[in-house]
Chains A and B, each alone.
Chain A
Amino acid sequence: MGQSQGQIDRIFQQQSQFEIRFMDNPELKTSPSGEINQWQAQFEDLRHLVVSILVLVVIMSGTFSVFLLRHWSQTRRDLAAYRTDASVFVEAYNKQGGPQMDAFIEKLKDYGRTHPDFAQILTRYGITQAALASPPSTTKPSTPPSKK
């Protein structure tokens, strides 16, 4: 009786060891068709993930496109308004103000050729000419003569 009880215990022990091995190694419990199903499920999950990411990227890209479109149309409107004012201003300058200023500067240059003291003022404004490069020195020496 005691011997048969020992055999039963040994059989139970072997069975439980087999169960532990079986649980540790999942490959043993799945059949080939089950493995394919598992792979297919993982593939479907991956596909869903890719589609979700694509949808998100499309939304982001669309939002960015709309932002750029609005920004560009605003800039275009501003430019149209600015161009109208600026072209009037530039045209008025080119027709009237510019030539008058040029003529005024030319006259001052001519005047500066004969008046070296005024030429110094012109030089300060970057209006120089070859004739002004060596003006006749009319300045007095800075140091006063020593009194005896």
Chain B
Amino acid sequence: MKNSPLTAFLVAVLAVSALLSLVFCAFYISSTRERRRWEGQVEAIKNRNKAVTRLATEALEYSKHDTNIDSILVWANLKAKSTVSSSNKASSK
């Protein structure tokens, strides 16, 4: 049986199209994965920032009844130095 050239051409075009679909699909998956990786990294940093901010807030609250922690808070720029010295004076009186 003889194959018609039109059929052969159509089969070839179909094969190329299917191959291109596969390649584009692989590129798309790769791009999506990379984006998710970046998003995960950024999200983890944001979550850590939030947790440390909450911890710092609690440390500030804690410093209201225990001024020993003030040196760390001053070091971390969470409390002004003048406030610390005045509060220390007040507590010593």
Interface residues of A (CB under 8 A from B): 47, 50-51, 54-55, 57-58, 61-62, 64-65, 68-69, 71-72, 75-76, 78-79, 82-83, 86-87, 89-90, 93, 97-98, 100-101, 104-105, 107-108, 111, 115, 117-118, 121-122, 125, 127
Cβ proximity bits B28-64 to A, threshold 8 Å, 1 near / 0 not? 1001101100110110010011011011101100100
Majority SS of interface residues in chain A? helix
9 more A-B contacts (CB under 8 A) besides A51-B6, A108-B55? A54-B14, A58-B13, A61-B14, A68-B24, A75-B35, A78-B35, A104-B76, A118-B69, A121-B58
Contact of B28 among A68, A82, A104, A111 (CB under 8 A): A68
Contact of A75 among B28, B48, B75 (CB under 8 A): B28
Contact (Cβ within 8 A) A51 B28:
no
> Which B-chain residue is minimally distant from A77 (CB atoms)?
B31
CB-CB under 8 A from B38, the residues of chain A are: 79, 82-83, 86-87
- Verify if B17 is at the interface (C-beta below 8 Å from A): yes
17 A-B residue pairs with CB within 8 Å = A51-B4, A51-B6, A55-B10, A61-B17, A64-B21, A65-B17, A68-B25, A69-B20, A71-B28, A72-B28, A82-B35, A86-B39, A87-B38, A101-B48, A118-B69, A121-B58, A121-B62
Interface residues of B (CB under 8 A from A): 4, 6-7, 10-11, 13-14, 17-18, 20-21, 24-25, 27-28, 31-32, 34-35, 38-39, 41-42, 45, 48-49, 51-52, 54-56, 58-59, 62, 66, 68-69, 72, 75-76
Contact (Cβ within 8 A) B10 A54:
yes
Given contact pairs A47-B4, A68-B28, A72-B27, A89 touches B14 in the complex (Cβ within 8 A): no
CB-CB under 8 A from B55, the residues of chain A are: 105, 108, 121-122, 125, 127
